[in-house]
Amino acid sequence: MKKLLSLVLALAMCLTLVSFASAETVEEVIAQAQNMTLEELFQKAIEESNGKRFDAVGNSSRGKSVLPIFVEELQKINPGYTLDYEGGWQQPKENKIFDQLTEDVNGANHVMSMTLIQDGNQIQSKMLDTGLLLNFVPKDWQEAEGVAKEGNETPLALQTLNKVFMFNNLGEKTYTNMWDFVRDGEAPLFMGVNSELVGKNFLYMMTNDKYATIAKEAYEVWEGRNPEDDALIEDMKLDAEDLGLTGENVQYGLAWVYLWCEKYNEETDDGPICNTLVTTSAKDQAGLLVYSKLRSVEETAESSVNNITVAAYQDGYVGIGGYAYKHYLMLTKTSPLPWTSCALIAYMTTTQDGFKAWGKDMGGYAPVPACMQDHSHDGGDEFPAKNDRGYDWWINEGKLVVEEPAYCASVSGTMSDWIDGIVAGK
């Protein structure tokens, strides 16, 4: 009896050791997955998650619409494959996604496998610097034709979205320079800097010398230029010093940020901004909003897409045409289903079907061109504002200010208070 017991115990110990030895960390899975094709990842996902529960958290609710298509893809390989994802794609409110991920990784019960997340500043400081989220770059993505790697690789971007300056064109005012949006008497519609934090990141990025220089060049040819603004820009050198900003033309960027914060008219979301701007009564009103919102307008006697002009689409427009932020895809450090997460991320970032939930909208651009749908003729001749000129045009001609997580995180400590002080003093 004793011998039997010893044998059973020894067997149990061996099994435990084997299972410990074969358990891979998420980092190890990623290291292997980065050298695999999409088909190989699908195979791994089937082995790992068949019949299991999948949970993820995202800023975009569209993530949940990819899951059934993803499962269908896996079922083409293994018809018996199932994945329990009902209610598994969560979308927390009020910036709680970072707290939720932190608690999930640091807690005893790890539920979240991956995330689709925005706000480069917080991602850098709360998720990457702390090692709570891990980056995975699919092999097929690396090798895709024409892939835009710069700024999209670490962390891996699902898409770049643009928010652009628009104005209601039924009034008398013209907006041909980025400084026109901050001249006296303006109150452009904009989401609050503390409710939509990518908007605050845009303001941080304006102090980056690349964009501050664009602001300087625009200011120098601005017809509305005046001595008070000249003095303000000069005075901003003091603020730049306080804030630890060292760029050559940073005072121009800071001055523009100051004037913008002092003047913008806060709205709860881009939806209401769009609904407002397209109406006949919103004469001479400007705003900075997600470009894709124009698709939501139904033509009536009161509302029309033709009542607005996209500022950067005008001939001779000078300065930035808006800003760009990104949706990033990453795995949690404690992902319960890392292979499945890697397969899903690869599917979303390298195939048109995987990106379809986002690709159907104008103003959202995948780094891999093959994933994209053409939106350059969405409005035709009837609604030219809806003809999307594409990522390259917006970056080079439209001069979008592109979010950089590391830069945002490096200046947010001081800039955030400076901006909050201006907004509170309005």
Q: What are the start-end ranges of the H helices in 264-389?
A: 270-277, 338-350, 352-359
- List the one residue from 19, 51, 79, 94 that touches other proteins (CB under 8 A): 94
Find the shortest distance in angstroms from Cβ 62 to other proteins: 7
* Cis? peptide before 367, omega within 30° of 0: no
- The residue ranges of DSSP E strands in 104-183, in sequence order, are 114-117, 133-134, 157-168
- List the one residue from 62, 173, 210, 225 that touches other proteins (CB under 8 A): 62
Given the rule CB under 8 A, which of 71-79, 107-115, 133-141, 153-161 is the region that contacts other proteins? 107-115
d(CA 381, CA 96): 43
d(CA 193, CA 117): 18
Find the shortest distance in angstroms from Cβ 98 to other proteins: 7
Query: Interface with other proteins includes 269 (CB under 8 A)?
Result: yes
Nearest to 161 by CA among 322, 396, 280: 322
* Owner of token pair 């000078």: 318
Q: How far is the first Cα of the chain from the last one, in angstroms, to the nearest whole number?
A: 84
Query: Interface with other proteins includes 48 (CB under 8 A)?
Result: no
- List the one residue from 68, 224, 244, 271 that touches other proteins (CB under 8 A): 271
H or E segment at 83?
strand 83-84
Nearest to 162 by CA among 383, 400, 384, 375: 400
Given the rule CB under 8 A, which of 45-53, 117-125, 209-217, 389-397 is the region that contacts other proteins? 117-125
Nearest to 164 by CA among 317, 324, 383, 298: 324
Query: Interface with other proteins includes 234 (CB under 8 A)?
Result: no
- List the one residue from 38, 233, 274, 368 that touches other proteins (CB under 8 A): 274
Beta-carbon neighbour count of residue 210 at 10 Å?
Answer: 16
Closest to other proteins by CB, 325 vs 339, is 325
Find the shortest distance in angstroms from Cβ 84 to other proteins: 16
Given the rule CB under 8 A, which of 42-50, 71-79, 276-284, 308-316 is the region that contacts other proteins? 276-284
Burial class (CB in 10 A: 0-12, 13-18, 19+), 245: buried
HSE-CB at 139 with a 13 A cutoff on CA atoms is 13
Query: Interface with other proteins includes 68 (CB under 8 A)?
Result: no
Q: Which residues within the stretch 308-367 sit at the binding site for other proteins (CB under 8 A)?
A: 360-361
- List the one residue from 42, 54, 85, 98 that touches other proteins (CB under 8 A): 98
Number of residues that bind other proteins (CB under 8 A): 82
Q: What is the dihedral of CA 223, 227, 231, 236, to 10 degrees?
A: -20
Given the rule CB under 8 A, which of 39-47, 125-133, 137-145, 308-316 is the region that contacts other proteins? 125-133
Given the rule CB under 8 A, which of 17-25, 40-48, 209-217, 271-279 is the region that contacts other proteins? 271-279
- List the one residue from 35, 65, 142, 154 that touches other proteins (CB under 8 A): 65
- List the one residue from 187, 237, 376, 406 that touches other proteins (CB under 8 A): 187
Query: Interface with other proteins includes 418 (CB under 8 A)?
Result: yes
